[in-house]
Structure 1
């Protein structure tokens, strides 16, 4: 082969586009080489274990969070407490730091032309950056899950976990459901990451692109606190951050969880597609063209707002969801179920003869403090009278609870007597004082309509 032909072949080979795999490795190295990403990885793999272990050793527990009151009893409560915190604060911030900056960093450094000369394909650049940011986010989520689980089990032990409706999960079952709960929140995390990609492309070097996932997550969290119709609540990706609690009931409440996962994945695909189309239309020859607020509004905010409207319509038509979803019969059924399970745990603590739920025949009568107020919707004025029967005893037992029901269906029941059942924090057992499971307990109302029984 002649020298000119060899030089021509060399130039042709160098002009080919870099493969996505090579671009992905390059972008991944760029991300991991940043000091703030390294700090985030170390923090996610170390801090949760230290936090859960330290809190589990404290005399006061975060009882205002799901499963917080059980952190003394089992190591599997710790990762669930961490999951609740991560869904509200940690994961939105992590997606902002990674996905929200992956394109904007090139604008700040002015390196787009060099990258285009090296890769020669905007499509492959987008794919490589999106995959690299996704890899780092998955690494961070895995660190939060594994570290918090390891810290809880090491500090407290591999003990059974009391479910959200009071039934007892074996250590193996608890471990599997904890892992599944963390896997389920990957869907809304991907939705926030896609919003981060969209903001990073549409807003360029503007700091708003970096903050967009956190701001969107905060807005959706505030919306979840409002008394919205259940169809609107389920149509927001943020609901998937709390719908995992349905895994810890018997039977499991999978309807809201599956809807939340599907909605989150639809958001992820839609936002990523919008970011991809905006990126391909970008003028890389103009260094001052790094996004605009108008473009972000017309190509980003409007389509996502339309997606919310479509999703609400689909959820409302495909389910039996109506109103707030919090109704009197649902609250009564949930309180009675949790009380029956927890009563059996207390019976075992006190070394009394075992009874079954069928023998107890637990029933609850709940209202909102007055017959003039409709017994529906969230509020801290719910009041329930629980009755049950013991074998060989003619008189039915009664207990009173004050309920604080939040807009997302979660409630805390606070015992209001009699003192022998739920009036004290501790009960005297043959092995010493132990926490009274009937004093206060958490549970939730399934917002979608379910069959009775």
Structure 2
């Protein structure tokens, strides 16, 4: 891009003015600037390497793990990677929300403006384009394009690896219900789509850090640091309103898509909060770029004003969203209560019991016939049965048609602060005491030995 008219500056503030709107000045189209910025980003060796990794490595990883005898049972849906190819992309989504997506947004969005400071090319770019607004829009869109390509690579590669290795088979949900392969495919796609909201929030924070901190490496690390702080906060017993107001909560809330009925309330809130953070951080970055003094070579961003222009508005946004979520939902405490745990465990057990019945070629029963219930306590009898912890103990009871005796099974539960739990069978051995069960077709994993579930954190009304 070349220019024939120099850029004009404000004599009082030194900030760059948009001269493309003045008579006689040639206006550079946004599409042209966007293509130029996209080529700049993609031409970097690290961007090309990331694209290659995201489109190849997840598929190879899922295919390799799916063929191993030991599965990542501590990862959500990891225990089902032998059973269906749709478990692989969900395992990848859990990993991506914790590590991959924060790092990808840091590398791409966190450096898009800072690279101009390091190379000293701001004046050349402004003379060529003559519009700081158009430069910001082009850089933001170029970063967004690359990030979307990276996310698409993670999703598509993980899905292809799972389907090619294991196949297009039904998936067991977090309530023990068997989802058809088509239903599982739709929910997996929706889960990855919802994960874009917190990804955009981190990308916007990266743009803000790149503008505010200039050539400082802290701008490059800002999205990863925010994601790490969010993950640490998620591990704490925060009130429900504070948890749902975190910008990265949608990385966890997609779990609710795999229950029946789907727990869409927390997911919708998480997506909206992520989008609000994305819009706010992008707007802050835009305003700060327009106010910057590009005539001074020593000026590479707000510098010490980063706290007032970047941190304080986002801290205020967090406070406002916490108050808004609290008012809209009426949620209090941790959201993990005795009756919710009991309903979740009983529902998952009833569905998985039917799956085990099918494996053993026994007469089919319905959930209504089983009349499954659960009695759960936490810690000692003096402790209040609420909140996260690994000291939950549940006794599940059920009835079989034509049998007077009531069946019982014991489970030890580890409930995390985000509502996810792992139920570990503690007898009787005929029901949940062994990892494998003998079926007419040979040994198969026992679905009642261990199973994952989730507790709805928002207030619920039991159905009759």
Matched, 1:387 2:397: yes
Secondary structure of the residue that 1:251 maps to in structure 2? coil
Q: Count residues in correspondence.
A: 442
Matched, 1:44 2:31: no
1:108-161 C-alpha deviation (Å, 9 max, x unpaired): 000001101110000000000000000000000000000000000011111100
Whether the 8 Å CA contact 1:16–1:120 is kept in 2: the answer is: no
Q: CA deviation at 1:295?
A: 2.0
Map 1:263-274 to 2 at 5 A. Answer: 263-274=273-284
Q: CA deviation at 1:238?
A: 1.3
Q: CA deviation at 1:405?
A: 0.3
Aligned to 1:359: 369
Matched, 1:142 2:167: no
1:207 to 217, 221, 226: 217
Q: CA deviation at 1:287?
A: 1.6
Q: CA deviation at 1:14?
A: 8.6
Secondary structure of the residue that 2:271 maps to in structure 1? helix
Matched, 1:327 2:342: no
Matched, 1:159 2:201: no
Q: TM-score, normalised by structure 2?
A: 0.94
Q: TM-score, normalised by structure 1?
A: 0.97
1:355-387 C-alpha deviation (Å, 9 max, x unpaired): 000000000000013210000000000000000
1:118 to 109, 116, 128: 128
Secondary structure of the residue that 2:160 maps to in structure 1? helix
Mapped to 2, the partners of 1:291 and 1:27 lie a distance apart of: 20
Q: CA deviation at 1:292?
A: 4.1
1:173-219 C-alpha deviation (Å, 9 max, x unpaired): 11111011000000000000000000000000000000000000000
Secondary structure of the residue that 2:375 maps to in structure 1? strand
Secondary structure of the residue that 2:401 maps to in structure 1? coil
1:82-131 C-alpha deviation (Å, 9 max, x unpaired): 00000000000000000000000000000001101110000000000000
Unaligned runs of 5+ in 1: 1-11
Mapped to 2, the partners of 1:176 and 1:287 lie a distance apart of: 52
Aligned to 1:174: 184
Cα pair distance change 1:152/1:392, threshold 3 Å: same
Aligned to 2:195: 185
Secondary structure of the residue that 1:433 maps to in structure 2? strand
Q: CA deviation at 1:15?
A: 3.6
Aligned to 2:233: 223
Over aligned residue pairs, what C-alpha RMSD do you find?
Answer: 1.0
Aligned to 1:57: 67
**Runs (4+) off by over 4 Å:** none
1:229-271 C-alpha deviation (Å, 9 max, x unpaired): 0100000011110000100001000000000000000000000
Whether the 8 Å CA contact 1:75–1:157 is kept in 2: the answer is: yes
2:28 to 18, 32, 49: 18
1:404-450 C-alpha deviation (Å, 9 max, x unpaired): 00011000000000000000000000000000000000001010011
Matched, 1:197 2:207: yes
